[in-house]
Structure 1
Amino acid sequence: MLLHLLNRSPQSLSVYRELGEAFGADDHLLLIEDACYAALPSASAALEPFGGRVSVLAEDLASRGLAERVSPAIAVVDMNGFLSLTESHERCVSWF
């Protein structure tokens, strides 16, 4: 049970592909920094391999002006939510 932290935009197709191959049945993906762009409805195809187990960091959305444009399928979490995710998963893996 891993928490995957991704900071690459959906234009980094190879990172999303590699992450999809490593993503387990009980894993969760948290989009941070430029990966917030993957939370937009227009980029939904990039997140299909993750089966709805995806969240995005609210502070990073706000800093990019994307807070009102997130796909309804993506959970928005603040820093406390980020902390809760790290506590509920065995390990964190960063994809940069």
Structure 2
Amino acid sequence: MNWQVMFSNRKERCELLEALLISYKHINIPIFSQRIHLLWGENDKIFKKELAHNMKELLGNKTTFEGIKNAGHLVHMERPCAFNTSLNHFLSSLLFPTPN
């Protein structure tokens, strides 16, 4: 292995990694007029479920959350039937809302 290649451009690599870090403390969430449904894999190792709950709170009353069991980050690929069922249920609720 060529160690020079591995450690070249170290400064640039550090800058790229620092740019990837996102601070959610100062993020401005726009106000959306439409309903939003968050589908989340309960075993997601990339974006934890707590992030989804925080997003739901920040997005407001028109946002719903559903965790899909036995699924990670790629819910639509890991549990396609559960994903499609949930998505169809949400989309049909847009077309045929239940009266309040």
* Same structural fold, with TM-score higher than 0.5 when normalized by the shorter chain: no
User: What band does the TM-score fall into relative to the shorter chain?
Assistant: 0.3 to 0.5
Whose Rg is larger?
Answer: 2
TM-score (norm 1): 0.36
More strand by share: 1
TM-score (norm 2): 0.35
